[in-house]
Structure 1
Amino acid sequence: MIGISGISGAGKSTLIKRLAKTLQSTPIFWDDYDEISKAPQSYVDWFYSSKDYNDWVYPELVDTLHKIKSGETIICPATRQELTPTKYILFDAPLGYCHQATGKYIDFLICLDTPLDIALARRLIRDYRNDPNPQKMIQELQEYLSKSRPLFILSPEEKTSDLIVDGSLALEEQEKQVLDALSLFEEPALPI
């Protein structure tokens, strides 16, 4: 199972969709499970109080990861789509190894390390592309500047991964770096 971690707007979903097509692999997206799981109500309050990654309680996601990694074809409880085991399972894992319940299923973790300005721009485009009310975007930016910006700065623990990819690179280059890293695991061992 290949996990891809990074902050909101890092480009995790975009890279996973690209890799899923190239590798003909099953993608699993953390966000699909938000509605059927329990997470802190305020990320800002969480950050300044417990900062315990296990406050995200996602039992259906854990069950999905367990079953698909065990080779079972399942119906995703969140999307109702069939998930089939493939050579590579691509997991959008924003919390990476820090989230113990899901992190234990990751065999190879990629951290998309994206500059804050690029991630912010991507989030705003994604979240407000079709919103006719600019006031919401202004409020989001004010919240970012006054309170939430530290949430988006990855700590050394959050960057713990098997591969760090610069999220500001073109998607093609990100994909190439991942495929090159995966190919190292495909090469047969040399005789001694």
Structure 2
Amino acid sequence: MKKPIVIAIAAVSGGGKTTVTNELKNILPLSMAIYFDDYDFEEGPADYFQWVQDGADYNAWNIEILARDIESLLTQNNLNYILLDYPFAYKNDKITSYIDYAIFIDTPLDIAMARRLLRDKVNQTPDLLRNDLNCYLSGGRIAYLEMIKTIKPNSDFVVDGSLSVHAIVSQIIQQISKFNEC
């Protein structure tokens, strides 16, 4: 009985993690997805700017519940892949040992921001939108840059996030095929 391959997919917010994960789930046979954003982690940084300023300790996030869900899926013999929509690649010690392959979607920050605004802020008033953009400029951007500095080089494969979803998924499938040959 072979265990499922765990593929972590990271990107900045708005970088395409969920879209790519969903597309891979539809293409890869016998796959399940776990989404980081579906969890309410009780222990984690309240202020991302301060967290980055303090050294961005990825273990400050208590993601034990996520680890338990991965463990549970690993025991299922009817899965080939577990797709982990997860922003930290190998940087959290509780999750690292489960990951077989980490992918970083390298999305330019202007594209990620535009996607985030279109996705999350469509019905906001202009004042709330301005406030969100000011928060990004005054501190939030540093968290995005932290991911590019730390998570991107800590990944096994980096794909250009400005490509179409189809092109990104095709490149990932090629990489997974190479990984499976090993």
**1:118-138 C-alpha deviation (Å, 9 max, x unpaired):** 01111111111233x221111
Contact 1:37-1:59 at 8 Å conserved across structures: no
Say yes or no: does 1:150 pair with 2:142.
yes
5+ residue gaps, structure 2: 1-5
Corresponding position of 1:92: 85
Q: Is contact 1:37–1:60 with CA below 8 Å preserved after alignment?
A: no
Return the alpha-carbon distance in structure 1 between the equivalents of residues 47 and 150 of structure 2: 22
Partner of 1:43: 48
Alignment partner, residue 95 of structure 2:
102
Which sections of structure 1, spanning at least 5 residues, go unmatched? Answer: 73-84
When structure 1 is superposed on structure 2, of 165-174 and 153-162 the one drifting more is: 153-162
Matched letter for residue 138 of structure 1: R
1:174 paired with 2:161, answer no
1:60–1:44: structure 2 CA closer, same or farther, 3 Å change rule?
Answer: same
2: CA distance, partners of 1:114 / 1:108:
19
SS of equivalent residue, structure 2 residue 34: strand
| 2:13 maps to 1:21 | no
Indicate whether 1:113 and 2:119 are aligned: no
Larger radius of gyration: 1
Structure-1 residue corresponding to 2:118:
125
Q: 2 CA distance for matches of 1:128 and 1:156?
A: 27
* TM-score with structure 2 setting the length: 0.89
Match of 1:62 among 58, 63, 67: 67
1:38 alignment partner, SS class: coil
Identity %: 37
1:156 CA displacement: 4.1
State the secondary structure of the residue aligned to 1:19.
helix
